[in-house]
Amino acid sequence: MLVLLAGIFVVHIATVIMLFVSTIANVWMVGSSNFGTISTGLWLLCNKTCMQLPVSSRDEASLKTVQAFMILSIIFSVVALILFIIQLFTLEKGKRFYMTGAVMLVCWMCILIAVSIYTARFTGTMVYSTNPHHGYCFILAWICFCFSFIIGILYLVLRKK
């Protein structure tokens, strides 16, 4: 049981780190241009230097929604990690980690909303580039989506022995 708890804890920490990286780094979409590789993220457009991400007024609300939900997912993931540590030492034997699982599933839902909106609105519409494709941050966000769902379900069914 201790090995299972340690494994879940390690995967949870990895998920938090990947969420930070995918939100902060500017490699959600990558494309090529005459000047080299161009990458865009949630915040900046980067070529050799980075500048403010040019977004049309039609897509501005969508981008801000994606930014907000990715930040919320980080917050909920960290809160779930803290709740897990607190519940690990305060719960009686045989009790389940309901609160931790619920918060982690809220994190999962935030990631789902953010990545789905980004996929629907910004895939393939990269400014100044040809042959756009998804970068590693987008892929990390989907991996975090899977991990957070698995961890949330495991927390709900896991009993403290």
Number of domains in the chain: 1
Domain membership flag for residue 85: yes
Domain membership flag for residue 113: yes
Domain membership flag for residue 47: no
**pLDDT tens digit string along 106-150?**
999 999 999 999 999 887 666 666 778 888 999 999 999 999 999
* Range of the structural domain that residue 16 is part of: 1-30+57-125+136-160
DSSP 35-87: TEEEEE-SSEEESSSEEEPP--TTTHHHHHHHHHHHHHHHHHHHHHHHHHHHH
Closest to 148 (Cα-Cα) out of 97, 115, 111: 111
**pLDDT tens digit string along 11-38?**
999 999 999 999 999 888 888 877 778 8
130, β-bridge pairs: 32
Domain membership flag for residue 45: no
Domain membership flag for residue 35: no
Angle 71-151-103 from CA coordinates, rounded to 5°: 50
